[in-house]
Chains A and B, each alone.
Chain A
Amino acid sequence: MRRLLRFLKPYAAQSILAMLLMVGLTLADLAVPRLVQRIIDQGIAPTDMELIRSTTMLMLAASAASALFAIGNNLLSIRVANCFSADLRSALFRKLQTLSFGNLDRLQTGQLIVRLTSDVTQMEHIVLISLRMLARAPLLLLGSSVLLVLTGRELVLIMLVLAPAVALVVWPIIRVGRRMFLQVQRSLDRLNNVLQENLAGVRVVKAFLRGDYENSRFDQANRVLTSQVIKVSQVMAFVIPTLFLLANAATLAIVWFGGRQVTTGMLTVGQVVAFMNYLSSTLWPLLMLGMVVGTVSAAQVSAQRINEVLDSAADISDQPDARALDEVKGRIEFENVSFSYNSDCSEPVLNGINLIAEPGERVAILGATGAGKSSLVHLIARFYDVTAGRVTVDGIDVREVTQESLRSHMGIALQETVLFSGTIRDNIRYGHTGATDEEVVAAAKAAQAHEFITEFPDGYDTLVGQRGVTLSGGQKQRIAIARALLTRPSILILDDSTSSVDVDTEAHIDLALLDWMEGRTSFIIAQRVSTVLNADKIVILDRGRIAAIGRHTDLMDSSPIYREIYESQLGDGGFDE
């Protein structure tokens, strides 16, 4: 948690000022019992009306002063806490933008959202509490202790007995309590996880009739959580009254011992009353400590999670001397490229890949599940870095140019189609916000999306995403293709982007692409042989290695794997007209 303090640095002055105001507030508060004592001892017994009046005025003045201090502290601490959290959120978000696909694979989406929302809020809360209590607690403790001694040495002994007693109660609570709160948090995560999976997998649950099983899974998590919450609540139910009891016991001791000393004339009534007041303000910070233990341990968990994100080093970053890639002809070369997702993985995903795509060529990639097709195209855009060898664009290693300039020449449709909430038009325009409506329509037409888009009542202004219409998988894919085409990329990458599109439509897209990508390089990952028939190069990947490269006709002769694929899909060719 301490490490996140650096985010407070820009607000150091304001924070210190807030604490100073708190000091003022505390001093004003500390004056009150002294003034009451004065009224009792010097005003009532000797009957000094003037003193009573002036002291009352002083007390009111102290209240007014503390009002100003309190408001000032309030304004500042809220400002600081909110600026702190905004900066923290911004840092997290900024970090997120620098992370590579590899990082994103490891950090899970659901958790990231939690980190950016509630974890940051938790930290904001703790900053706010700190600014309002941090200065007050020690000062109250110190000030009241000093004033206690000044008020009446005779009763300090009570204080000396009591303070360790409170510490004895508070200390184990902080330790045990933290552990228990952490456990509760973990159980809560578990419960939410069961729930979220159940909702996301509702069709599977129904198909396999696993309602009862799910119920028992949930019930187990629910039971564990309930028993833990009950336990921790019961501990708190014991602690808080006990702390109050200790404070009250002290008051009682003062009444008893103090009262007897008043009888013997060692103390005045006013002193005893003041003593009672100071004692309760001495105990207050200690009580507080016992009470905020829950908040603090929650904040600790949050801080841990935030740091985890902030600490994750971006796998891929621009080299210090990286230059921008201006013009791209589109010659792509893989030189002896090997790649694996984890360095410790025994089997590399790609192994000794050598491949050249000349400008304007259409390269199709075929291969089994897990053969490394997606990995191969991801390397071109430098979503991951190669483990060995190099990937070049126009002869330049992709690691030597800035990622932004590299990707600005590419149009990419990823395997998993994600659209943003907004209109269809905005989605297509995502990569090139300055595009005209005509350009948008042209791209949509090429992606065979124009027809279904215009069938919507709102056409291109149809809202998609959470608040809009639900598109089918094939429709989403076509919009994603249009989005990639609109940038008029020098290099186009389609990662199995037509898997949900029917064959007929796919054939049309294919035809349009020939036109659109004239003179530009494209990489197309496909499952269907029909998609690759027109490719300049067909690359057959098998377990991370290139099994064959060539045109359709070449491969029919030379590659048994290709023939097998071809025949499994299109039969023995007996239907050729």
Chain B
Amino acid sequence: MSSSTSRETTRPHAPFGPGRHRGLRATRIEKAKDVRGTSLRLFGYLRPHRAALVLMTLLVFTHSALSVAAPYLLGLAVDQFGSPVLLLRSSALLLATYAGTWLARLLEGYILATVTQKALYAMRRDLFEHLQTLSLRFFDRHPHGQLMSRLTNDIDAINRALSQSVVQLLTNMLNLVGMLLSMFTLNAWMALGSLTVLPLMLLVTGVIGVRTRQSYRELQAQLGEMNGLMEETITAQRVVKAFAKEAATLESFGRENLATRDVSIRANTLAFLVMPMMTVLSNASVAVVAGLGGWLAVQGRASVGTIVSFMSYSRRFADPLRQLANLYNSVQAALAGAERVFEIIDEQPDLTDAPDAVVADDIDGDVVFDHVDFGYVPGVPVLNDVGFHASPGEAIALVGPTGAGKTTTVNLLSRYYDTDSGCIRIDGRDIRDISVASLRQQLGTVLQDTFLFSDTVMQNIRYGRLDATDEECIEAAKLANADQFIQRLPQGYQTELSERGSNLSQGQRQLVALARAVLTDPAILILDEATSSVDTRTEVRIQEALLRLMEGRTSFVIAHRLSTVRNADKVLVIHDGRIIERGTHEELLAQRGFYHNLYMSQFKGTKT
């Protein structure tokens, strides 16, 4: 028994997920919409290895033929026990068969491993590289978990199918046909006799197969519930503690856990019933073969050698049948996975360079928003007829309540999204006519969400300009007032940051992000809430640095704190996606409008 377990483990764990996101053994049962097209494309990845594949197919045929021939020869040898000469001959033949099988399987395994892994390498590479070309709109629409799953679960499914299932399926079919042919050639009566258990075998696989599918689907749903709960609880573990809700959390987890256990027992009991049942049935068929063979042998209508051959066939007959359903499901899952992978690869980047896009280098930084309308979702406008002009070197402050459209405005300038109507010009040129790469090269951005990579502090700063020397990185850190705290870290600049920089405080993360932006030496500077978690004193220091940095550069600053925008050349007050007031700090105060209110409410604290 357990031979299907053994097959599953004969090859290394699939890249991208040693069961990582796979959940329990519940195999996903789903179908690709376009089986033909997806298969063709999947085989496209194998095409560079055509010659190897042809060779491998030949090897599969050889190995199947040889392994069908072996029991036949074995029976022959047994019948020749009486005559040493004949025995020598058939033993030699048997030896050749075994050696041939060994060689064929070995080569087959070598080729298969190399070809499939190379194909998977290419597929992962294509998927990842394509992801880099897609715009933020795409990432807004697709949760990270979902994209992770494309590169893990789906590639894993394809891997399993390519490196095991497809070849096994072919081998099994060939073996079945070969064995049937061989059995009927040897002795038709015994062939019929040993096939009496076949209907039972089919019945078992069929009935259990259908039931299993249903209960596995149930298991999948239940697992989803439980894993979702776990993921959420772990993410929110600190909140759980803050509210002393450990007991309640344990209780609800316990419920899901038990439910999962019970569903899993039900599903797996059924699924794992197939294997022992088939073993037992093949034992029964050995009994039939022995009995029937004996009876025929007594009458001289069969030889002992034939019985030996048949027993060997009977044992092996169950194997392919048992696996057919599983293999078929595995191939289906792979196709469905491949289809989703291709869906992403086919996603058209919605932000591409115009064919005649120019490279913007050495820009002055004259920025014009000309009647810009924009919405993330059609029909829900976020910006409405936004227009302004920033002369080279000017500092523009964007002010307004949360959700007014400040971040969106600077996102458009970086061309993370394209405007719905109106246009944005830099130095008089529509930014859609400038290559995206050269555009963003001119922009230095510190984003609301400061993201750091798990690497050293130094490398994180260097991310701004890869060819920067250590000295330049440190210089940038000094300019951003980050040097001081970095020096105090255990390993200074060589300190490894953990996942998302979680071993730094939020303010420290922002300082590193600022240093990163400083290093790029941009023509236009964008600071989106860059200092919201830095305390005011640190911010004062940063601002000194920024003032130096902003010198001669056009800059856009978003900050909720009005104090940070008082030095701006122009203040744009954005409210509900429109610019409702503009001017200098003093002019706006004098207007006694929206800005004046904002300012006063802050100044007077609680009085509005």
Contacts and interface: CB of A to CB of B under 8 A. Distances in A.
A109 B236 CA distance: 10
B239 A116 contact: no
Nearest to B253: A93
A166 interface: no
22 contacts: A39-B293, A40-B307, A47-B298, A66-B280, A71-B273, A86-B258, A93-B257, A104-B238, A110-B499, A118-B19, A204-B447, A204-B513, A233-B113, A251-B74, A262-B82, A383-B242, A416-B506, A466-B228, A529-B536, A530-B603, A534-B605, A575-B599
Chain B, interface size: which category? Answer: 35 or more
Nearest to A552: B605
Nearest to B159: A229
Nearest to B129: A215
Nearest to B272: A74
A564 B540 contact: yes
A273 interface: yes
Contact of B240 (A97, A197, A287): A97
A449 to B, nearest CB: 12
A381 B239 CA distance: 12
Contacts of A125: 19, 25
Contacts of B99: 245
A236 B113 CA distance: 10
A245 B102 contact: yes
Interface string B309-343: 00100000000000000000000000000000000
B454 A197 contact: yes
Interface stretch (A144-152, A385-393, A501-509): A501-509
A260 B87 CA distance: 8
Interface in B415-449: 416, 437, 440-441, 443, 445, 447-449
Given A369-B507, A528-B602, A226 B280 contact: no
Interface residues of A, number: 199
Nearest to A214: B132
Contacts of A366: 535
B492 to A, nearest CB: 13
A263 B82 contact: yes
B98 A252 contact: yes
A294 B13 CA distance: 7
Interface stretch (B36-44, B176-184, B261-269, B381-389): B261-269
Interface in B115-130: 117-118, 120-121, 124-125, 128-129
Interface stretch (A10-18, A205-213, A436-444): A205-213
Nearest to A407: B244
Contacts of B506: 369, 415-416
Contact of B286 (A59, A475, A575): A59
A138 interface: no
Interface stretch (A75-83, A153-161, A353-361): A75-83
A230 B118 CA distance: 9
A414 B532 contact: no
Interface string A37-68: 00110011001010011011001101110110
B47 interface: no
A255 B305 CA distance: 11
A571 B5 contact: no
B500 A241 contact: no
Given A36-B311, A237-B106, A408-B244, A259 B236 contact: no
B199 interface: no
Contacts of A564: 537, 540
B600 to A, nearest CB: 8
Given A238-B110, A404-B244, A571-B566, 6 more contacts: A25-B276, A70-B280, A117-B230, A121-B25, A204-B451, A269-B78
A291 B502 CA distance: 41
A232 interface: yes
A241 B101 CA distance: 8
Interface stretch (A1-9, A187-195, A329-337, A516-524): A187-195
B415 to A, nearest CB: 10
B294 A39 contact: yes
B81 A262 contact: yes
Contacts of A236: 10-12, 109, 113
Contacts of B15: 184, 188, 191, 225-226, 229
A214 B437 CA distance: 15
Contact of A108 (B6, B133, B248, B498): B498
B109 A241 contact: yes
A172 B298 CA distance: 49
Nearest to A341: B503
Interface stretch (B140-148, B210-218, B357-365, B548-556): B140-148
Nearest to A475: B402
A211 B133 contact: yes
Given A226-B15, A263-B81, A255 B91 contact: yes
A274 B280 CA distance: 19
B550 to A, nearest CB: 17
B563 A571 contact: yes
Interface in B474-507: 485, 488, 498-500, 502-503, 505-507
A446 to B, nearest CB: 14
A312 interface: no
B128 A195 contact: yes
Interface in A90-137: 90, 93-94, 96-101, 104-105, 108-110, 112-114, 116-118, 121-122, 124-125, 129, 132-133, 136
A43 B315 CA distance: 22
Given A49-B295, A568-B563, A252 B143 contact: no
A219 B286 CA distance: 53
B283 interface: yes
Given A129-B5, A420-B236, A472-B402, A507 B602 contact: yes
Given A185-B18, A241-B105, A576-B603, A52 B295 contact: yes
Residue from the set B17, B25, B447, B603 with the largest chain A CB neighbour count within 10 Å: B603
Looking at A53, A117, A129, A181, the one whose CB has the most chain B CB atoms below 10 A away is: A117
B77, B94, B503, B600, most chain A CB atoms within 10 A: B77
A201 interface: yes
B246 A269 contact: no
Q: Which among A184, A201, A215 has the highest number of chain B CB atoms within 10 Å?
A: A201
B403 to A, nearest CB: 5
B6 A292 contact: yes
Contacts of B257: 86, 89-90, 93
Given A86-B258, A199-B144, A234-B109, A369 B508 contact: yes
A234 B290 contact: no
Interface in B507-559: 507-508, 511, 513, 516, 520, 529, 532-540
B82 A97 contact: no
B213 to A, nearest CB: 18
A252 B95 contact: yes
A36 B286 CA distance: 9
Contacts of A181: 12-13
B345 interface: no
A496 B533 contact: yes
Nearest to A277: B311
A273 B131 contact: no
A453 B70 CA distance: 75
A240 B540 CA distance: 69
A407 B242 contact: yes
A118 B294 contact: no
Contacts of A165: none
A351 interface: no
Given A113-B230, A185-B13, A229-B117, A96 B237 contact: yes
Contacts of A225: 15
A307 interface: no
A197 B499 CA distance: 8
Contact of B9 (A83, A294, A533, A565): A294
Contacts of A53: 291, 295
B403 A472 contact: yes
Contacts of A203: 136, 416, 447, 449, 451
A211 B133 CA distance: 8
